């Protein structure tokens, strides 16, 4: 069943607060059940919003790009709670995701950890349900669509309903950055259909430019791939797969067709030839050389892009088949979870509430993380100058207003990104697996990971 945005985002697109509340996971599937359902479990242990006066030290583990932002938020939190010190450390994103289960089961557990998905952490009871804190802080009174992807049943087998296991400062949005100077040289305009997009890739290649820059080394190829799958087959099957709905299957004609298109783009020279050696860290530097027309990334890259190429960068949603079709984009919360073994859960939950509601923290989320802030309706609206980052606001409103926001395929299971999608997309563009074999392998690994 296809749900409409509960906040009628299309009519309030200029208000970032309303935009943030209509999160990516709103509206695609009926799996986004209300928090009052019988499936929700309230945390067994008592909760408190009183942090007292005794010294408390929280340890927060983030992915490396988020460290500076969380450190600034930690400083702001300490001004409100002088007895609480937050130590922030970082790990490479893929390393952190791979290490999370062992970290949370060890004897040296942080109080807050950045996750991409729950994987088996809920089933193994390694992270805490936050329903008690949601009630205590009033999160349960906020529009609940923003929490949909952060809920899970107690078995950890189905997302989108059940208890709340995380929350975070903001939401990502994927799309396409474009170099305005190159687009003008090619006498082109921002494409509104897939055919127009592909024609520009071909034209850029013929003019000696890279058509589409991707960081295939650590998963960037998945962005155009998932958009192509949704263009060819719609978003609902992908969202069902991402949320582990019974019977969900990605081994479909749409996936095979998408894989075929992506492979042909690389074979034709439209995608950077070194994509399998370009990672998230080096991709911005490649982009800043000014030799690539398009670059697939998320809104988290917008602040740096605007700074490096002021006035020369724009951002749009990946084109659809027809210009009247829904524009799809991947979006998810920057998820913070509280490990079950944390000894300072009340303080950790207070920090999660702070990053969502405090005006300074929300501005940091936007300025440094490039994310659209989470939080209650009517929360402070971060300021922004014209540029690519401003475009991400507009495009988020467009996608959320038309129910075009979908969870990331790499988050479908704990191992999907590192063990399957990264190596398989690399093999795909290199011509070492066929599109049909690619689709079959992704589904096979998915089924195996879920134990189905």
**Over the stretch 123-178, which tens digit does the pLDDT of each residue have?**
999 999 999 999 999 999 986 778 888 999 998 888 888 999 999 999 889 999 99
Q: Are residues 85 and 52 in the same domain?
A: yes
In a domain, 11, yes or no: no
pLDDT for residue 97: 86
pTM of the model as a whole = 0.77
As a whole number, mean pLDDT of residues 183-199 equals 96
Q: Based on the fold, state whether residues 436 and 315 are members of the same structural domain.
A: yes
CATH number (domain holding residue 165) = 3.40.190.10
Tokens 């935009």 map to which residue? 19
pLDDT given for residue 16 in this prediction: 33
Structural domain count of the chain: 2
Task: Verify that 54 and 147 share a domain, yes or no.
Answer: yes
d(CA 251, CA 191): 29
Q: Residue 216 belongs to what domain range?
A: 174-330+406-450
pLDDT band at 44 (very low <50, low <70, confident <90, very high): low
- In terms of pLDDT, which residue wins out, 191 or 157? 191
Q: For 19-33, give one letter per residue: b (16+ CB within 10 A) or e.
A: bbbbbbbbbbbebbb
Within this chain, do residues 377 and 322 fall inside the same structural domain, yes or no? no
Q: Are 428 and 214 in contact (CB under 8 A)?
A: no
> Residue ranges of the alpha helices (H) in 91-175?
93-105, 131-137
Instruction: Specify whether 117 is located in the same domain as 226.
Output: no
pLDDT at 19: 32
Verify that 152 and 36 share a domain, yes or no.
yes
What letters, b where the CB count within 10 A reaches 16 and e where it falls short, cover 95-120? ebbbebeebbeeeebbbbbbbbbbbb
Q: What is the pLDDT of residue 452?
A: 67
pLDDT more than 90, % of the chain = 70
Selection from 423, 414, 398 nearest residue 446 by Cα: 414
pLDDT at 393 (0 to 100): 83
SS3 368: coil
Please give the Cα distance from 146 to 168 (Å, whole number): 10
Mean pLDDT (the chain) is 88
pLDDT for position 61: 97
Alpha-carbon distance of 138 to 131, in angstroms, equals 10
Residues 96 and 196 in one domain: no
Query: What confidence tens digit (pLDDT) does each residue in 272-307 have?
Result: 999 999 999 899 999 999 999 999 999 989 999 999
């Amino acid at each position: 069943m296809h749900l409409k945005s509960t906040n009628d985002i299309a009519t309030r697109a200029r208000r970032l607060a309303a935009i943030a509340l209509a999160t990516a996971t709103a509206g695609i599937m009926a799996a986004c059940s209300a928090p009052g359902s019988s499936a929700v479990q309230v945390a067994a242990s008592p909760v408190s919003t009183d942090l007292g006066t005794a010294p408390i030290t929280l340890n927060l583990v983030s992915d490396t790009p988020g460290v500076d932002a969380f450190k600034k938020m930690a400083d702001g939190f300490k001004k409100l709670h002088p007895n609480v010190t937050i130590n922030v450390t970082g790990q490479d994103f893929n390393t952190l995701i791979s290490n999370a289960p062992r970290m949370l089961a060890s004897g040296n557990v942080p109080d807050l950890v950045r996750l991409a998905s729950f994987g088996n952490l809920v089933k193994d009871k390694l992270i805490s349900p936050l329903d008690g804190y949601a009630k205590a802080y009033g999160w349960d009174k906020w529009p609940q669509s923003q929490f949909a992807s952060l809920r899970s049943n107690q078995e950890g087998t189905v997302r989108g309903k059940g208890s709340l296991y995380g929350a975070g400062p903001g939401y990502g949005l994927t799309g396409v950055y474009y170099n305005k100077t190159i687009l003008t040289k090619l006498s082109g305009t921002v494409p509104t259909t897939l055919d127009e997009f592909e024609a520009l890739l071909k034209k850029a290649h013929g003019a000696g430019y890279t058509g589409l820059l991707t960081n295939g080394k650590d998963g960037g190829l998945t962005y155009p791939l998932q958009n192509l799958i949704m263009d060819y087959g719609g978003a609902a099957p992908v969202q069902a797969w991402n949320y582990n709905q019974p019977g969900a299957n990605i081994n479909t004609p749409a996936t095979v067709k998408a894989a075929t298109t992506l492979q042909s783009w690389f074979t034709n020279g439209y995608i950077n030839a070194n994509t399998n050696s370009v990672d998230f860290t080096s991709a911005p530097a490649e982009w800043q050389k000014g030799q690539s027309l398009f670059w697939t990334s998320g809104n988290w890259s917008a602040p740096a892009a605007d700074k490096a190429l002021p006035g020369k960068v724009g951002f749009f949603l990946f084109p659809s088949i027809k210009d009247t079709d829904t524009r799809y984009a991947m979006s998810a919360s920057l998820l913070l979870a509280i490990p079950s073994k944390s000894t300072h859960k009340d303080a950790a939950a207070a920090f999660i509430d702070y990053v969502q509601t405090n005006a300074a923290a929300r501005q940091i989320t936007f300025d440094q993380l490039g994310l659209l802030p989470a939080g209650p309706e009517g929360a402070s609206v971060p300021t922004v100058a014209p540029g690519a980052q401003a475009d991400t606001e507009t495009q988020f409103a467009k996608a959320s207003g038309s129910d075009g926001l979908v969870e990331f395929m790499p988050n479908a299971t704990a191992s999907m990104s590192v063990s399957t999608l990264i190596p398989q997309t690399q093999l795909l563009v290199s011509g070492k697996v066929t599109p049909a074999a690619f689709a079959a392998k992704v589904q096979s690994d998915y089924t195996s990971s879920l134990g189905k």
